[in-house]
Structure 1
Amino acid sequence: MKIEVAVNKTASTKERGDLLESLVGRLLQAQSYDVVNEIRFTGVELDLLCKHKVSGKEIYVECKAYRNTNIDANILKNLVGTLVFKDYSEAWLVSTVEYGKEAKGFIKEWKDKPKEQATKLSFYDPLQIINSLIDSKVIQNCPTDLATSHIGSINLLGEWILLVTPYGLFWAAPTISGGIPTNVLCYYANNNELVDDYALLDKIAETDTSLNGLSFKLPRINKSKVAEIEALKTVSVVQIQTGEAWSDYRPARPEDFVGRVKDIDYIFDFFKRIKENSTNTRIFAITGNSGMGKSSLIAKLKNKASNYQNKNRFFIFSVDIRAATGPEYILSSLLQALKTAQKNGFGTQDIDLILSDVGNPLNSETIKKYLESLESKNQLIALVFDQFEELYSKPELYEVFEKAKSLLLNAASIKINFCLGFAWKTDSTTHSEHPAYFFWHQLSDYRVTRKLAPFSDSESNAVINIFEKEIQQKLHHDLRHNLVASSQGYPWLLKKLSIHLYEKIENGINQDDLLENKLDVASLFKADMETLSLAETTCLRLIAQRAPVDWFEIIEVSGPDTLKSLIDRRLVIRSGDRLNIYWDIFREYILTGNVPAILLRYLPSTDFSSVYKVVKHLTHNEKLSIQELVERTELSEGTIQNIGSDMVMFGVALRESGLYSLSEEVAICNEIEILKAIREKFSKHVFTSALKESSIHSVWSVSNLIELLKQSYPANKYAEKTWHAYTVRLCRWLELCGFLHLSKGNWIYKDQGEVISERTKTERNRRKGNVFTAPASPSLTLEALSWIIDKKSVGKKEEKPKGYRNALSILSRFEIIRSENDRYIVEQDKVSKFLDRKGLLWLSANSEEVL
């Protein structure tokens, strides 16, 4: 039996505290104590000083009205400290929830102490509180016989809860259908009469009791219907679906899964620590951006748990949360997971599993007994929810989220061979006010987290090896290189690009004809859309807008044939009765026309001067071979190939069938325009992003930058010399692209909003050799800046206001104006980036060396 202090959801802390005090007051009155003083009051916690009516003995009473967490040993240790420090004659702990495993051990040790010391502490759990209230005639015992008579079978009755509400004390119990709670029977606790006042039942249902997701209006059930009700099935639970073939867009089949060895080992090590009781945690989270392979990893974990070595030790039940339509989905998932594990030889086989406790389902009598039986067999069960972020994507799923949250907190409070896992998409938008945001941080002390990183080159190549087996031929070296480089370590992107090539090769296209300059996922998504009819496109957009959406809603609007066509094309997937787009990334494209920003992970093998030596020979119309470039640049063939990779990845050149031409992204082939195109790529580079996020370290030594690069590429294994070479080369690229500048041997991150040519860099270094001594005041320089901006340009020999000549020399040094054909010309690109001219001047001055 349980006790819940239940108030209206809008009630104040004081109202909850008053109810808690009224409950404890009745318990104390039954023991002949009066409350003397209220010491502390927080709504779910109450500390009282009480005095015996006869003996006058004063005792200290701590009251805890927790809901989703058990009493731990630390609370009891603190109680002992208060008893000793305040020199109270006695101390009580009154709790409406059960004591945890460690707390029970503490109580046993305390009761074994000498009688004089042992009697100084008293511990009241829910059953003892209820028995005391029954003995003092405040309430009657729970009306099990009356309830059984009403619904026809004791097997349809869940666990009793004593509800302490603003409307009085009530006995409430859920009724069971198909093993899960559906309705509630409610009785007045003082006389055990059935509550049939619908207005009162509505008020009780609106409190924050754990039963409030169930119906409180349960009609009398004809006994002839009992067998029919007992046979009802729980709601359909959908497990993670893997692809039927390598080329299927759904999560990878276990036999196609590659890499993630450390992630798999980490999760199974966590399972082992649970069985060894060397961790108090029972929750694990698999996180990562969209398309990192979280679902595929869960499918692989399940597969590994069922292999010959593990099949009697670990059982994993993976659930697709997108099929959820109501809170009963969570309870059904738990019940089905445990029953399936039981059928597979896990735990005691003769226990009939029934979810009788709605608020804390793992504390249901039969389930608790079953889970405890796992320890003796050295077995572990894991229930994993995939696509967890879907629960807070739609308001109608909020109740499902709350039920899942309650189950996770319940799991966090127990110490048995059972754990819960969930996959959480880290690039989803969760507002800081959303309950999911608080929930994530609330669980931080109770979970272990494994964040999936992008694939290493070796993992990407392992995927391509499977691709080669599918097409039964080796990929052209350049095609393999393009796949690895273009996918940037993102599993979803590599899969999409590989399937694209797979379909082309299956249709008889020669690999040499597929050696395109780059593989663009947006164009592939566009191609997917262009093959659809108007009806299919309309249907697809409708599903994207409403996903996850009930399939019958779509059939009513679009018809069964249109929907079947989209499912057959693998553009839409069905999870139970719910429909969704095959990838959330494709769904985003359908809704916005955009694909996620993909950080460039490419590490250049040459420097800019080498690239420029080759690019300056390219044009839009002429295609040059490697040999022709060798002749024109006098560089070796190997060097040209390395430079060619850099040119293509930076988007300044096209490579088709081994021939190079100038990219359309470079309008004019000069140093500045080429750098502008490359700057655009580096603005989305993983190293630039890491620098920006770590901008608190404004000054970076080379050794610190090497460590930052290692963190950005955790899977790459290089010698220290190689890490140093890559780091220095990247810094030089970022300097020319206007993201870094060198100062006294250290690098400073500051986005200057423009590129810096080699000539400008040389000139700047020459000027920086001279310490800046301003020949004009800041105010006068600001005046001159406004003056020349209005004029756009000024002749050097033109007459100028007094002092402006010196001010213009400062603006020239700051590269706000440039000297050209005996005129000072405003750098409009730089000026246009600042709404405040004073800010432009200040930023420029701030970059100068100081004595």
Structure 2
Amino acid sequence: MLSQVVVQDPVIILLAEGDDAGSQANARGHLFESFMARVMHQLGYKEPTQSKLNVRADGFEVDISAQHDLNDAHAVAECKALATNINVNQATAFYGRLTALRFKQTNLDGFLFAIPRLTADAAQFVESVRKNDPRFFAYTAGDIWDLLQRRGLTDPISGENVSDQALVVHSSGIYCAAIELDPETRTGRRIVVNAKNRGGVPDSVLRQLDESDYARGLPVVAYGASTSAPVSGYTAPVIVEVHGSGSDFEYQLPASPKYFVGRRDAVNRIEDKVAHAGGPFVLNAQSGWGKSSLALKVASTVEGVGLVFDTRTAGAPTYVAGALRHAALTAQVRGLVKLPADATWATTEGALATIDRAEWSPDKRILVIFDQFENVFTDTALTAEFRDVALWTSENRSHITVGFAWKTDYVDWIETHPFRLRDQIREVATVVTLQPFGSAEVDTILRRLEQAGGVALSRELRQRLREYSQGLPWLLKKLTGHLLGEFKRGKTQEQLISEALNVQDLFVSDLAGLSPGERECLNFVARFAPAQASEVTERFQASLVQSLLNQRLVVQVGEKLDTYWDIFRDYLNTGRVPIEDSYILRQSPNSVARLVSELLAQGGGAATSAIAESWDTTENVVWNTARELRQLGLARSESGRVDLIAEIAEAVDSEREIRTRVARALRRHKAWTIFIELAERGQGRVAASLFARRLQEAFPAVSGTTNTWVTYARTFLAWCAYAGLALPDANAFILAPDGSSGVGSLTTKTPATIKRGVFPTLAPGPAIDILSKLQEDPSYQVPREKRKYLTQLVTLGALVASGVSPGEYRVAPGLFDAGVLSTQALRQMLEGVPGGRDAIAALTNDSGLRAVAAGAVFEGAYNASWTDSTKDLVGRSFFGWARAAGLSTRRGSREK
């Protein structure tokens, strides 16, 4: 296995000059070739000849063939000098080529030079091969360093206050370099370079090393230089810890662990990962979905130190080592760890190795989560430094776990985003992707709102909050916080429902009290966020900036300023909130038409009690029927009343006005966007079942079965058909042509026609009772709970249209004789329904016929596919109707 990396593990630096990147890479390739020839010579081989040289953007690949001085044994060598450790695939690829060459030349040595070093998997592979193949060798940067040192070719810099040794390869020779540390802070002061020869270190070496990534901005001097040589004083990078909210409804800040809700699966995954040294992890989600809140929650549960850093203050690669130093010193202050005396915080790798070599209390760990990480992606060098942290912690799983949290709806906007580096982080990390709140999590927030406001939320207000929030934590908290304030100001729930809870109105209220100067300053911050505080204060008075900070419209992150939320920033920059309407339509246009007709007949409005009385129902039913009208913006509702808006009540053509407004409302709806997307993919045709599945995914906070979502989908599409936006097409819907008039009417509701269905599915007793009462009194009103029997009677033919007005029915002629039901007439009707004649014949032949067998007769007649329980239901219903028609059944025999 790969041994632990220590602070003194050296690096190899190639210094070569060129007029441009290409020529410089070519010069470094030739330099690397000559250096590897020198290494091979130190291993006892003659001057090797180059067979292949490839120069790549991230390093070099050199194939060398050589012959040993003593026994003329041949060798091939492949050298890989990359920005990251050589992985197992690269190691196995070389060994595969070596094996192929040995088919022709059996006496062949193989050398793999892996710079900087091998990954754990690659090291394990090399170790296993070496056990069976003693002519295969692997050398890392550390091995080459040791080889040259043993041969006396280098003169390393030693001492208590040096770290991060490096072998510098230059056309003039090889040199040793190290970072000189400040004895107090153990951070870098300068780079010192030593030469083995008496000629000292050439100025060209110092200059080129000063320009390299190794220097990290520190001054570079020759070893033994006078004390007047430049020394850099340590300036700690700005490290800002993320802090949480002080209540359930403070949406400007992440939720503190005390107010954290849900996410149990994600929390458990990360806690288990930290506890078992499972390597790095990544938190991904869109803005406001709770990444920072989850980070704070997990950090609070760590057995040791858990810190969440806001990386908007990260401006240079030195930030990473500074953040690790901050975490380690915090752990030491708390008595959890004793850092080594030779600790170094000069580089990221040195900082990680220092933490790894520290003396830890049992089962104590450090968890560091880098939040707001999308801001890091604007700096390739900084991203590479974080990438190295991810790679190191994936290979060295001991006392420190790192996490990265970035939003997925932002990073793709950055044209210079280093995708390769981002993907390298994700490849070695466990990715935890957050989704919006589910139904249970929303319910928890709503219960807390009830407790804080001292009110019991009405079902409609709860549903409105659930639907409008779309499961987005920040939006739910903003809406609930807004409602809490409104409750305290004395507003009723009915008044709040009528306001529609539009989040854009909340942003408007955020800006309403601002002065022109404050608004101009806020717009500037939004445009350039995160903006340097010094740049903002140069343009605007400090009092304006402080005012925005006091109102929490702007927040300070280290030396930078940003808006309190990304969505608010989008609103300031674009003038709109990227959130669509998201309520659920539960009742079809036909169901609502009765109420619209009633309201228009009464001048545009009426008391719910009056409507309920005329309908012979409850006020709650009326209120629920009016819900769609309120959501679509067609009506206003106050306590005890429903009123159509004036534009509809006073319109010359109310139907046209309603249809226009419904179409306008539906086009703003999230569901319409989904329908358009599906229509584009499906060549204009959208299956209702597919639309239902997409709706269920889009509204995670709304619970419902699969059948419920199919109903919601068909209801929304029915409204689209009414508005002239879509048209039914078999079991699907298609986009309606421009100018379509729409289907149906809301203003001319007529009594519904009873449609025929499958017969029989219900017992005959209540149905025959209805027939008897209608025979005695044709004006008899069938109770609501018994209207389901009307379909059975119409299908049977026992009720027929009256011919007087639509929706009115009368008892079929000849069904009653002197007020008594005629069994002969009823039998004739039974024989007339699909499957009736065959079922009666089967029953006549076998009075002990089983119910399932009787149901199967009707199944065949309707060309259906029923379960045994459905066939049993139909069969039992048939037996009841058969007995009512005077037929004999032997129940005992049938049940056996």
CA distance in 2, matches of 1:426, 1:621: 52
How far does the alpha carbon of each residue in 1:24-52 deviate from its partner, in whole angstroms, 9 at most, with x for none? 12212333233345246253342424121
Alignment partner of 1:611 out of 585, 592, 600: 592
How much does 1:259 deviate? 2.1
Q: 1:362 touches 1:410 (CA, 8 Å); kept in 2? A: no
CA distance in 1, matches of 2:736, 2:178: 64
Q: Pairwise mapping of residues 303-318 of structure 1 onto structure 2 (< 5 A)? A: 303-305=300-302, 311=303, 315-318=305-308
Please give the TM-score of this superposition, normalised by the length of structure 2. 0.71
Q: Pairwise mapping of residues 162-177 of structure 1 onto structure 2 (< 5 A)? A: 162-164=167-169, 169-176=174-181
Q: 1:430 touches 1:437 (CA, 8 Å); kept in 2? A: no
| Counterpart AA for 1:57 | A
For residue 757 of structure 1, give the secondary structure of its aligned residue in structure 2.
coil
CA distance in 2, matches of 1:718, 1:485: 13
How much does 1:107 deviate? 4.0
CA distance in 1, matches of 2:169, 2:229: 33
Alignment partner of 2:704 out of 710, 713, 718: 718
Q: 1:676 touches 1:755 (CA, 8 Å); kept in 2? A: no
Cα gap change, 1:324 to 1:506, in 2 (>3 Å) = farther
How much does 1:168 deviate? 6.0
Structure 2, unpaired ranges of 5+: 1-9, 746-896
How much does 1:144 deviate? 3.1
CA distance in 1, matches of 2:380, 2:66: 46
In the alignment, what sits opposite 1:290?
Answer: 287
Structure 1, unpaired ranges of 5+: 146-153, 306-310, 761-851
CA distance in 1, matches of 2:568, 2:625: 33
CA distance in 2, matches of 1:140, 1:193: 14
Q: Does 1:82 align with 2:70?
A: no
How much does 1:240 deviate? 0.7
CA distance in 1, matches of 2:411, 2:397: 33
Cα gap change, 1:431 to 1:220, in 2 (>3 Å) = farther
CA distance in 1, matches of 2:217, 2:738: 55
In the alignment, what sits opposite 1:351?
Answer: 340
Alignment partner of 1:19 out of 7, 15, 31: 31
How much does 1:215 deviate? 4.7
In the alignment, what sits opposite 1:428?
Answer: 410
Q: Pairwise mapping of residues 482-497 of structure 1 onto structure 2 (< 5 A)? A: 482-497=464-479
Q: Pairwise mapping of residues 58-457 of structure 1 onto structure 2 (< 5 A)? A: 58-67=74-83, 69-87=84-102, 89-113=108-132, 117-118=133-134, 120-134=135-149, 139-144=153-158, 154-155=160-161, 157-164=162-169, 169-176=174-181, 179=185, 181-182=187-188, 184-187=190-193, 189-191=195-197, 197=203, 201-207=206-212, 209-216=213-220, 234-248=236-250, 249-272=252-275, 274-275=276-277, 282-305=279-302, 311=303, 315-344=305-334, 346=336, 348-352=337-341, 354-355=343-344, 358=347, 360-361=349-350, 364=353, 366-370=354-358, 377-392=362-377, 400-428=382-410, 430-431=412-413, 433-457=415-439
CA distance in 1, matches of 2:222, 2:208: 15
How much does 1:320 deviate? 1.1
Cα gap change, 1:439 to 1:71, in 2 (>3 Å) = closer
How far does the alpha carbon of each residue in 1:523-561 deviate from its partner, in whole angstroms, 9 at most, with x for none? 221222121233433332333233323434444544444
| Counterpart AA for 1:264 | V
In the alignment, what sits opposite 1:551?
Answer: 533
How far does the alpha carbon of each residue in 1:398-430 deviate from its partner, in whole angstroms, 9 at most, with x for none? 654443344334434544453322221222263
Cα gap change, 1:750 to 1:338, in 2 (>3 Å) = farther
Q: 2:467 touches 2:584 (CA, 8 Å); kept in 1? A: no
Q: 1:391 touches 1:401 (CA, 8 Å); kept in 2? A: yes
Q: 1:48 touches 1:61 (CA, 8 Å); kept in 2? A: yes
In the alignment, what sits opposite 2:792?
Answer: none
Q: 2:675 touches 2:686 (CA, 8 Å); kept in 1? A: no
How much does 1:459 deviate? 2.0
How much does 1:59 deviate? 1.3
How much does 1:710 deviate? 4.1
| Counterpart AA for 1:758 | V
Cα gap change, 1:340 to 1:24, in 2 (>3 Å) = same
In the alignment, what sits opposite 2:46?
Answer: 33
CA distance in 1, matches of 2:211, 2:15: 9
CA distance in 1, matches of 2:188, 2:214: 12
For residue 65 of structure 1, give the secondary structure of its aligned residue in structure 2.
strand
How far does the alpha carbon of each residue in 1:236-265 deviate from its partner, in whole angstroms, 9 at most, with x for none? 411111123445332222222222223322
How much does 1:702 deviate? 5.2
How much does 1:466 deviate? 1.9
CA distance in 2, matches of 1:266, 1:756: 54
Q: 1:169 touches 1:188 (CA, 8 Å); kept in 2? A: no
Q: Pairwise mapping of residues 497-576 of structure 1 onto structure 2 (< 5 A)? A: 497-509=479-491, 513-576=495-558
Q: Pairwise mapping of residues 678-689 of structure 1 onto structure 2 (< 5 A)? A: 678-683=662-667, 685-689=669-673
| Counterpart AA for 1:500 | H
Q: Pairwise mapping of residues 679-828 of structure 1 onto structure 2 (< 5 A)? A: 679-683=663-667, 685-690=669-674, 696=681, 703-714=689-700, 717-734=703-720, 742-745=728-731, 747=732, 757-758=742-743
CA distance in 2, matches of 1:71, 1:606: 63
Please give the TM-score of this superposition, normalised by the length of structure 1. 0.74
How far does the alpha carbon of each residue in 1:619-653 deviate from its partner, in whole angstroms, 9 at most, with x for none? 89955443355578887644433333323333333
Q: How many residues align?
A: 719
CA distance in 2, matches of 1:664, 1:17: 81
CA distance in 2, matches of 1:749, 1:380: 58
Q: Quote the sequence identity (%).
A: 24
For residue 450 of structure 1, give the secondary structure of its aligned residue in structure 2.
strand
How much does 1:433 deviate? 4.4
Q: 1:174 touches 1:358 (CA, 8 Å); kept in 2? A: no
For residue 158 of structure 1, give the secondary structure of its aligned residue in structure 2.
strand
Alignment partner of 1:590 out of 550, 572, 576: 572
**Considering only CA atoms, is the larger Rg found in Structure 1 or Structure 2?**
2
Q: 2:321 touches 2:346 (CA, 8 Å); kept in 1? A: no
Cα gap change, 1:755 to 1:338, in 2 (>3 Å) = farther
In the alignment, what sits opposite 2:892?
Answer: none
Q: 1:159 touches 1:356 (CA, 8 Å); kept in 2? A: no
Cα gap change, 1:752 to 1:561, in 2 (>3 Å) = same
